[in-house]
Amino acid sequence: MKTIVVFNQKGGVGKTSTVANLMAELKLRNYAVLGIDLDAQANLTAFNDVRNPEKTVRDLLLNTCSVDDVTITRKYGDVIPSDTSLQNELLRFASMPAFVIRLRDIVKTLTSSYDVILIDCPPVVNQVTAAALVAADYVIVPAEAEYFSAVGIKMIAETIEQVKPLNPGIRALGVLLVKYQNRRNLTKSIENALSENVKTVLDCDIFDTKIRFTVDIPSSQASGLSVRDYKRDSKATDDYARLADEILKGVKLV
C-alpha cells in the first residue's frame, strides 16, 4: 500500500481535482483506493456525493469512531469525508501531544485493505497538514507554471523537512504542473527555471505529464464526475490517465 498526500499551501492549484481524478483512474485500473478529505471545505467529499455524513474525519482524528464507522463507498473508491467542523478542532488538535501521529497509526491498519490512499490537504500548513505528511509515503505538489510557484516550493520543502524526524521515509514524488498552456513562451521559460528549483529544493522532478488548461475540469467537478466520465475526448482525460500511469510507475505499483 502507498499513501500519497496532495499538498500545496497555495489555494486554487487543483489539489482536489488531482485527488478526485486519480481516484477515478486508479479505480478504473482495478486498484483499491481510499480518498481521505482533510480539508474543512470538504470539496472531495462533495465531489463524491457525500452529503451530511454522520461521521467525518474529525471524529476519526478525535478517536471517537472507527475507520469502518466513517468510511463510505462511492463510485470512484472509498472516501473518508470531511466537513466544516474540522476547522473548529484545530486548537484541540494542537493541545493533543500524540495528534500528529494519529493519522499515521490509522493508515497502518489499512495496509491489507487498499493499494493506494490519496489524501487531499487544506491549502495551509496546520496540525492536520502535519498529520498527513507524517502518514505519507509520497507527496505530490500541484502548482502552476508561474514565478511565485518557486517561492511556494521552498516553503513546501521546509514543511516536509520539519516532519522528517517523525517520518524519515517521506519523499516528494513530483511537482504537477496544472492549468498548463504550452503555447505560451513565458510558461516554458518559467517551467525550465522551476524544474531546476524543484530538483534542488525538493529532490524530485516535475512530472512529465502536465494537466492542460480546460474548462472541462471545473465543469466535471460541478457534475460530480471524473473528467473521463464527463467528457471522454477531453484533453484533461488523457492528461489524468497519463498521470496515473506515471505515478503508478513512480511508486512501483506496476
Strand, coil or helix: what is 6?
A: strand
- The model carries a pTM of 0.95
In tens, the pLDDT along 150-209 reads 778 889 999 999 999 999 999 999 999 999 887 666 567 778 778 888 989 999 999 999
Question: What sign for the dihedral angle of Cα 42, 11, 132, 214?
Answer: positive
**Confidence at residue 184, expressed as pLDDT on a 0 to 100 scale:** 60
- Percent of all residues in the chain with a pLDDT value above 90, rounded to a whole number: 78
**Confidence at residue 42, expressed as pLDDT on a 0 to 100 scale:** 95
Domains of the chain: 2-247 (3.40.50.300)
The full 3-state SS of the chain, as one line of letters, equals CEEEEECCCCCCCCHHHHHHHHHHHHHHCCCCEEEEECCCCCHHHHHCCCCCCCCCHHHHHCCCCCHHHHCEEECCEEEECCCHHHHHHHHHHHCCCCHHHHHHHHHHCCCCCCCEEEEECCCCCCHHHHHHHHHCCEEEEEECCCHHHHHHHHHHHHHHHHHCCCCCCCEEEEEEECCECCCCHHHHHHHHHHHHHHHHHCCCCECCCCCECCCHHHHHHHCCCCHHHHCCCCHHHHHHHHHHHHHHHHCCCC
In tens, the pLDDT along 81-133 reads 999 999 888 888 888 878 999 999 999 999 999 999 999 999 999 999 999 99
**Confidence at residue 108, expressed as pLDDT on a 0 to 100 scale:** 96
User: How large is the average pLDDT for residues 43-71?
Assistant: 95
User: How large is the average pLDDT for residues 28-42?
Assistant: 97
**What is the rounded average pLDDT for all residues in the chain?**
92
Look up residue 206 and give its DSSP letter.
B
